[in-house]
Each structure stands twice: as structure tokens, then as C-alpha cells.
Structure 1
Amino acid sequence: MVEKYESVAGSSQSSLEIATDRTPLLQDHRTAMGEKNIGISQQTLVSNAGDVTNKAKKLPQYAAGLASTLGALAAGMVLAWSSPAGTDGVNLSGSYDFSISPNQFSWISALVPLGAATICVPIGILADLVGRKTAMLMLVVPFMVGWALIIWANSVVMFYIGRFITGLSGGAFCVTAPMYTAEIAESEIRGSLGSYFQLMLTVGILLTYALGMVTNMFQLSIISAIVPLIFFGVFFFMPETPTYYIKKGNIDAARASLIRLRGPRYNVEPELLAQRQSLSETAENRGSFFTAIKSKAAIKGLIIAFGLMFFQQLSGINAIIFYANSIFNATGTSLSANVSTIIVGVMQVVAVFVSSLIVDKLGRRILLLVSNFVMFVTALIIGIYFYLKNNGHDVQAIAWLPLVAVCGFIILFSLGYGPIPWMMIGEIFSSQIKGIAGSSACLFNWLMAFVVTKFYSDLVNSVGMAIPFFIFAAVSAVGTVFVFFVVPETKGKSLDEIQQELGGNPVVAQQGMKA
């Protein structure tokens, strides 16, 4: 992952001293690759060391990050597609002129996270083989196939297959987009760029909610199919990550990528050398994967990652997103379910945007704690409302309460538990195990999403709306305790410092890494 060294003006070492300290590494690479593939000289570093105004540009990094997360926009539209379909898919049946049972509709909704779970591990391997950028561009193909099956569906089976395939593509972006943004960003803006994934996901959800008010399900599916093509057209012109090129031994390409991302006047050599040394020493000291995965830092990282994913999904977020329309229909409020859903979507987008601005200032841990606590309170309120309503109490005077509570839940989820678990996957694992460990956490996340999405409607039909929200509230309460005692703060820390805090050995002594 991209690591940020101090600027030349504030560094305790000059660029020449950094280069001199790394001389054994350069000699090793010259022997292995040839002098021309390195292209680094002390003369170059000396000439750049005098430029005290040398600062990396942020705009190219933000542009590349946003372009990569257009795939998350497409994934968000896949997730929210079942909400405009109406309670038990009544609007979907009306658009396609064949009947769909409540159980069939629950499978149409739930096959998305199941498809996403299927791709989590393979996409990590593919991204290492062909590159992050190429792998993400390739995802457009299954996206289009899946939407084509949905658009021209003439049976429930075609919906099943189409939703599974679009879920597969959406889930793949949950692995590749955070990986891409983490590897192109300086540490001081890594948190903000990491939040872009969740931001664009929520924009996709809101867009689907809004389109669902003015289009039928057939038209909505056509519009949803266009978004992956827009992503392809924009992201095609973005650079591959420097980290991928360094892993492949293509140092010239890594340098060119860094120059595009940091600006032509920025001295990329110290950062390039730091990444090369970190990856080189990791490779030399790695041993077997099975040895590394048993290390203290790896085990604690897995506990944190799997714990965050468990509490994220069992909080009930996907039940709310997938079934928002039917939840608001059940409240009995005079405000239409469609309008309520739009309000929730807007709140979600605003909250994630705010999160992207403050995550590198307030930190990950405090946002997770506040997010979890408020999710507990709001889910409990929703559960109490439906309990009173289902037991014959007059709740007309507080019919507004579920909308306010759902908005509160969504806002605080989007500030903390939405973006931060995905962001921390890229931070808490060493590069040695990051691919498989991160993909495994993603797989677990989507399996939990499948469980919640599939059995939420079954549970509601069996015991009513109150019990599921009481369960969600209990999970969020336990999640608050988990974050307080287990999850460390990673704000402004280098990846090496995070590994040390988790109990690992430093790969390289890094300086000036604080954001």
C-alpha cells in the first residue's frame, strides 16, 4: 500500500540520505533486474532535494479514487433494486406480467449477497494477477450479462440468475475499489478516499430509490445497466496502482503511476524507495503463508476484521436497504413509503459525505463507537414501535417515529459502520496476507448479508416486525463493547505502525508517517 513520507521541507532526512540508506536495496535490484529498470540516481535525488515547495497534488488522487468508486455506484443500484419492487415484489410482478410469490421474491433479493460472497476470494487473486485496474474493468462484462437477464426476464429463474451475477460483480467491487483507493493514496487522505466507496454506494442506493418513484421495474433495470458502462468509460483513463507495478518488478511503470497521482513536480523517489524496501523485506522475511497467518498480528487482525463485518451486517442495514419500502408501508404513517425511502437515501448520502471529511480528523474508533451506540438505540426504538402497534396500542400520535429512527440509524451507520470496516481491511493486514485475509473477511460479510436478507422477510412473516429489530438492537449493543475493547485506532498511522500495535514486527523503520 502507498505510504507517505514527510515532504522534503519537513523531513529529518534529505532525499539523498534516504537514498543512501537504501543503497543495499538498490544494489539487490540492480543485480536482479538490471540498472535500466531502476532509473534512480543520487543526482536525481539531490536535484529534487532542494525544492522545498515540493508537495504532492491531491486532485489526481481524488479523481482516480472517485473514478474507481463509480463501480460502487453500480453496486448500490443492485442492492437497492428490490426496494422499489414493493412489498413481496408486487411492483415487479406488475412490470413483467408473471406472478412472483413472497418466498420467490425473498430469494430474488437474497441472491445478490450470495453472488457477492462467491466472488470475494477469486477477485483478490485476479487483482494480483492482472492488476487492480484491469480486474475492475473486466467486471463490466458480468454486470452487463446480469442486467440483460433481468431486463429480458420471462421467468423467475432468469431473475435468480441475473441477480446472482449482478451481485457477483457488485461484491467484486467491494474488494477491488477499497484496494485501489488505499494503494493510490497518501496516508493523510487515505481515510477520506476510503470513504468514497461507501459514499458512491449510497448514491447508487438513493438514485434507485428516486428512479423507483418515476419508472417501472423494467425501465429501472435498463437505467441500472447503463451505469457500469459509464464506469468503464471514466475509469479506463485512470492509472494502475504503483504497488501492483512494484510487486511485478516494473519500477518504471510504478514511477510513472506515482507521478500521475502526485503531480510532475513532486519528488516520488523517496516514496517509491520506501514501498520497494517494504515489499522487498516483506518478501525476504515472509516464510510460508500459513506461518504468517498464525502470527499474533494476523490473528488479531482477523478477529477485528471478522468482528466488524459481523456487527456491520447483523445490525440489519441490508434488511433496511432491501426492504425500506415495505418497512415504511408497515408503519401506517400518512407519509408515503416512497417519500420516506427517498428521505432515508438522502440522509445516507449526506452522512457518508460528512464521514469522508472527518474520518481522518476524528479517527476510526470514535466514529465506530458512536455509530454502534446510536444504531442500538434507534433499532430498539423501531422495535418498540412495532411491538406496540402489533399488540393493539394506538401509535398514530408517534407514527413519525420510525422514519426519524431509521434516518438516525442510517446516518450513524453511514458515518461509522458503513465505510470504516471496509477501510480498515486495507489497513490492519500486512501485505503478506492482505489478499487472502481481506477477501475472506469480505466473503464472511456477504454471507452474513445473505442470512439477514433471506431470513428477515421470513422472520417478519412469522413473528412480526418487532422481533427482528430487537435482535438488531442487541447485536449493535454487543458491537459497541467489541469496538471499545478490541478495535485499535489507525488514524494517521503507517501500515507498519499498525502492525506493531497489533503485535507484529516492523518491516521497515519508517519516519514522518503521521498524518
Structure 2
Amino acid sequence: MVSVIDINNTNEHIDINNRRTDIDNSIELTNVNNIMNEQMDIDNKHISTCVDIRRTSRIAEEEKWERNGVIYQILMGLCANVVVLTPGMGVGYYGVAQPAMTAPKTDDLQLDANQANWAATTFALTIPLGCLLTSPVMERGRKLSMVMASLISVAGWVTIYLAKSYEVLLVGSSISGISTGMAAAPATIYAAEIAEPKWRGTMVTWTSLYFSIGGLLVYIFGYIFKNDWRLVALMCAIFPVVSIALTLLVMPESPLWLRDQNRPEEALKIMKKFRGIPKDQPAPAEVLFELKPQSQEKDRNLLKHLMKRSSLVPFVIMNSYFLFQQFSGTFLVTYNVVTIMEKSGIQIDPYIGAILIGVARLIASFLATEVCRRLGVRIPSIISGIGMTIFIGGLSLYLFLAEKGTVISDKGIIPTTCMMLFIFTNTLGYLTIPFAMVGEIYPSKVKDILSNVTVSICYLVSAITVKIYPDMERLMHMYGVYFFFGIVSLIGLIFIIFFLPETKGKTLSEIEDMFSKKKVSELSAEKVVGEIPSIPNRVDSLEN
């Protein structure tokens, strides 16, 4: 018979074993949990690493897209502006051709001073006609407008080259003027429509850059062929042919023009290329928003759009700026560059002086591109107004003292420096900025019309200044003419300080909003975002 003590001992032994088992189980469970936690930490680290890798890859891919898009925008902007080389040549052509046209000769057409002045004036007078013709042509395509301008330009230069009479020369001048007017706006508008907001301020200044290159080229041709104005015209005819080839073979149509023609699929395809987005990737929301037409009231006709505040205010501002541009001597010096060099106390070959002016203008145009990108349009315009006032005023004072008998032993250094710096500062702002702004400051609904009307008025005033210049010189002497330029530059500076808006970094919709009483684009943006919640942006599309 088992004793009670043995039973108790046995039970205690079982309890001990059970406790040991519980402890062993607890230890084993703890070890398992620890192992699982360690494994989960490893998995989480692995997942985090994968996410970081994907995010890094995504950022690199997005940067590559943006870089490709910017490169494509720049290349197409450069190609588009080749059409502007010929206007630059046209404006400078009579400055170097008039001395050869009026030089005594027996074997070629000879003009008197009045006829030579009328040839240049005819060219300037027909530029506004070309500007007005551009509007209906641009409605049929930005590319078509550039091709038409180049074709007419070739016809004009060839007519001048072949002219055997004064009347035919005037016809050639008229045709060249029309082509110049037709080329003035399309390149700027095309660049403004294809560029991202942060690059638009740079790309729209390229019109003035190419204009300066064209002017320098014709000055060089004038120096090489001093006595052959026909050959200079023939050399000028080469460049519109190059423009035609680039426009037809290389450049795509403006995506915003395609959008306005109810061709959204083509517009989206081209806009994706301009933004560097691969064909197989969905378009980000910001691209879709760029291609969304501006909300307009259906019952409003074109006249009512023209009478809106967002159209009238920039129209007044831009035409005022162009008025100061023309009467400060911006184009007048270009149209009469050789004769002005001869009468400004500059003691070098006037054709070399013209080339120096062309070089100064070209350097300033390059700088203006970067300055506008960094500083916008107001600061360069202010710097330009200050510089022009100082340097043309200094040249006026120099010529006044020289005419009154004061002997200045500077060997022509002072007038050369003043003229070069006047042209340099003029190009930084007064010459460059207005033409750059017409491509972006007007609402899209009336941009084609108002931009061309504005440039037309500019060139009409230019023709007036060219025609009255001989009378101004006779009545006021050269120092009086330069003093007048200085006063206009100063008044223009005051206008810029108080009234010129800044467009740097703004989208075209935001620029339109600056002049509107109602900020409708913000509502439009909210509406668009609400309509396309499922459209991924670049980041989301890569993560998925």
C-alpha cells in the first residue's frame, strides 16, 4: 500500500516537471517571437530599401524626362527663330546699302539721298502690313506663318537684287517689309507656347537675339561688299531658305494651337514630347492642365474679348513701351548706322563702326537672355533706361561742345564709347523686352490679333522716325537729336518703374489673371483637378 508521503512526493515531482515544461515552452515561445521579430525587422528594412531604391530611380527618371524636354524645347525654339534673321538683316540693310546706292556711278542704278531715304521708309512702312497679315495666317498654323514669311522674304530680296529701276527697288523693299512684319510675331509666340514657365522668359528673348545676329551679319556683308548693294541683298536671301527647310523638316506644330483647333490627341502627343514624357507613359496632371482651353463664356464674341480688361490693359502698356522704344532711337540708329557713325565724331571706318555696334548689340542680346531668366523683365528694363539716358545724353553733350568750338583731345574715344554703351544698354531692355513680352502678355483668345497689331504700330512709328530723321538732323543738329533720344529714354524709364508688370515665373494663365478683375484660372485649376483625380503624376506613375 502506497503511503501518503509517496503520493505527495510524486505529485510534487509532477508539478515540478509541469513547471519546467511551462518554462521551457515559455523560453521556446520567446525565442520564436524574437526570431520572428528579427525576421520582420529584416523584411521591413528590405522593403524600406526597395522603396528607397525605387524612389531614387523614380527621381532620376523624372529628372531625365525634364532634361530631355528642356533640350527639345531649346532646339525647337532655336530653329523657329531662324525666321527672324531676315528681319534683322532687313532693318540693317539700308544702313549699309544707302552709301553705295547714292555713290556716283554710270553702270548701275543710282539714287539721290531723298530716294534712298524713301527706299528705307517704304521698307519700314510695309512692315505693319505684314504684321496684320500674320494674324489670319497664324490662325492656320504657327509653322505655316513662318514658311509664308520666309517665302515672301526670298521674293523680296531677289527683287531688290534684280532691280533695274527705282520703282522696282521700291517694290522689292515693300515685299521685304511685308515679310519682316510677318516674321516678327510667330517665332516669339511659338517659343512662348512650347516653353515651360521657368524657361519661357529666356526663350521669348531669342527673337531679339536672332534679330541682332541678322543685323550683325548684314553689317559684315556691307563691309565686305561696300560698293555692291545687290550682292548684299542676294546674301540675305540665303537665310529664309534655311528657315523654310528647318520649319518643314524639323519643327512640330505648336501644341496649344492644335488644342485650339480641337485636335487634342495631336496636341497631347506633341506636348508630351516637349515635356520629355515617353510615349508609353501617362500624361501628368500638369500637362493636361496646360492643354485645357481657357474657360470662356460662349456668348462672348471676339470684339467682347478684345474689350475685356485683361486685353486692354496689356495693350496700352505694350504700345506705350514700344513708343518709347522707337523715339529713343532704337531702330533709327540701325536704319542709318553708317551715316550716323560718320556724324558722331567716331574716328574709324564707319562700316567698322557699324560692325562694332552689331557686336555690342549681339553681346547684349546674349546677356539679355540670361538676365531676363534670372531677373525678369522689370529690372533689365530699368537698367536699360538708366544706361540709355546717361550715354546718349553724354554723346549729345560731347557733340554740342565740339560744335561750339571746345577742343576735346580724346581721338574719338568718348563718342565711340558712348555710342557702344548706348546700343548695349538699349539692347538689354528697350529693344529686347517689348518683343519678348508680346508673346506672353496677351490672353490666348486674342493673342494673335493684339500681338500683331502691337508690333504693327511699333513699325509704323519706326517708319515715321526714319522719314523725319533727315529733317530732325537739319533742324536740331546731331547733338539735338541725341538730346531728344535721351529725354525720351528718361520718360520711358519713369513709365517702366510705375507701370510695367513682372511676368517672370508665371504661367500664361497667371499672366492673364494679373490684368483681370476676377481670378478665374484658380477656379479652373480646381475644377480640372476635381475632374481628373485618377490621373497619376510623374511620381505616382513611377511608383506604380
TM-score tier, shorter chain, comes to: 0.7 to 0.9
Q: Within the alignment, does 1:214 sit opposite 2:224 as a pair?
A: yes
- Which blocks of at least 5 consecutive residues in structure 2 are unaligned? 1-57, 530-544
CA contact 1:286–1:292 (8 Å) conserved in 2? no
The code of the aligned residue for 2:445 comes to: Q
| Residue-by-residue CA offset, 1:98-127 (whole Å, 9 max, x unaligned) | 321111111111222211111212211210
The separation in 2 between residues aligned to 1:252 and 1:82, in whole angstroms, is: 47
Q: TM-score, normalised by structure 1?
A: 0.84
CA contact 1:383–1:469 (8 Å) conserved in 2? yes
The separation in 2 between residues aligned to 1:58 and 1:394, in whole angstroms, is: 56
Which is further off, 448-457 or 197-206? 448-457
1:461 aligns with 474
The separation in 1 between residues aligned to 2:346 and 2:310, in whole angstroms, is: 50
Match of 2:94 among 82, 96, 105: 82
1:273 aligns with 288
Helix, strand or coil at the partner of 2:427: helix
In structure 2, the CA distance between the partners of 1:308 and 1:331, relative to structure 1 (3 Å rule), is closer
Match of 1:66 among 78, 89, 92: 78
Helix, strand or coil at the partner of 2:132: helix
Q: Within the alignment, does 1:430 sit opposite 2:443 as a pair?
A: yes
Match of 2:133 among 112, 122, 125: 122
| Residue-by-residue CA offset, 1:436-489 (whole Å, 9 max, x unaligned) | 221211111011111111111232134321222111111111101111111111
Q: Give the Å deviation of 1:241.
A: 0.2
1:334 aligns with 347
CA contact 2:98–2:116 (8 Å) conserved in 1? no
In structure 2, the CA distance between the partners of 1:461 and 1:160, relative to structure 1 (3 Å rule), is farther
Q: Give the Å deviation of 1:88.
A: 8.4
1:26 aligns with none
2:366 aligns with 353
CA contact 1:378–1:408 (8 Å) conserved in 2? yes
2:246 aligns with 234
Which is further off, 313-322 or 270-279? 270-279
The code of the aligned residue for 1:109 comes to: A
CA contact 2:272–2:287 (8 Å) conserved in 1? no
The separation in 1 between residues aligned to 2:518 and 2:448, in whole angstroms, is: 19
The code of the aligned residue for 1:270 comes to: A
The code of the aligned residue for 1:126 comes to: V
1:29 aligns with none
Q: Give the Å deviation of 1:87.
A: 4.4
- Which blocks of at least 5 consecutive residues in structure 1 are unaligned? 1-47
The separation in 1 between residues aligned to 2:60 and 2:304, in whole angstroms, is: 45
1:393 aligns with 406
1:197 aligns with 207
1:151 aligns with 161
Q: Give the Å deviation of 1:272.
A: 4.1
The code of the aligned residue for 2:75 comes to: A
Aligned residue pair count? 461
| Residue-by-residue CA offset, 1:314-346 (whole Å, 9 max, x unaligned) | 111111111111111123443221222111111
1:315 aligns with 328
CA contact 1:124–1:175 (8 Å) conserved in 2? no
The separation in 2 between residues aligned to 1:141 and 1:176, in whole angstroms, is: 15
| Residue-by-residue CA offset, 1:413-433 (whole Å, 9 max, x unaligned) | 211122211121222221122
Q: Give the Å deviation of 1:351.
A: 0.7
In structure 2, the CA distance between the partners of 1:341 and 1:410, relative to structure 1 (3 Å rule), is same
Q: Within the alignment, does 1:110 sit opposite 2:121 as a pair?
A: yes
- Structure index of larger Rg: 2
In structure 2, the CA distance between the partners of 1:301 and 1:52, relative to structure 1 (3 Å rule), is same
The separation in 2 between residues aligned to 1:461 and 1:267, in whole angstroms, is: 67
In structure 2, the CA distance between the partners of 1:327 and 1:111, relative to structure 1 (3 Å rule), is same
CA contact 1:381–1:405 (8 Å) conserved in 2? yes
Aligned sequence identity (%): 25
2:430 aligns with 417
Q: Give the Å deviation of 1:142.
A: 1.3
Q: TM-score, normalised by structure 2?
A: 0.80
Q: Give the Å deviation of 1:398.
A: 5.8
Match of 2:267 among 244, 254, 277: 254
The separation in 2 between residues aligned to 1:349 and 1:171, in whole angstroms, is: 21
The code of the aligned residue for 2:432 comes to: P
In structure 2, the CA distance between the partners of 1:97 and 1:52, relative to structure 1 (3 Å rule), is closer
1:163 aligns with 173
| Residue-by-residue CA offset, 1:23-46 (whole Å, 9 max, x unaligned) | xxxxxxxxxxxxxxxxxxxxxxxx
The code of the aligned residue for 1:278 comes to: P
Q: CA RMSD in A?
A: 2.3
| Residue-by-residue CA offset, 1:169-227 (whole Å, 9 max, x unaligned) | 11111111111111111111101111111001100100111111111212111111111
Which is further off, 244-253 or 426-435? 426-435
In structure 2, the CA distance between the partners of 1:331 and 1:476, relative to structure 1 (3 Å rule), is closer
Q: Within the alignment, does 1:440 sit opposite 2:453 as a pair?
A: yes
The separation in 2 between residues aligned to 1:95 and 1:502, in whole angstroms, is: 60
Q: Give the Å deviation of 1:285.
A: 5.5
The separation in 2 between residues aligned to 1:94 and 1:374, in whole angstroms, is: 42
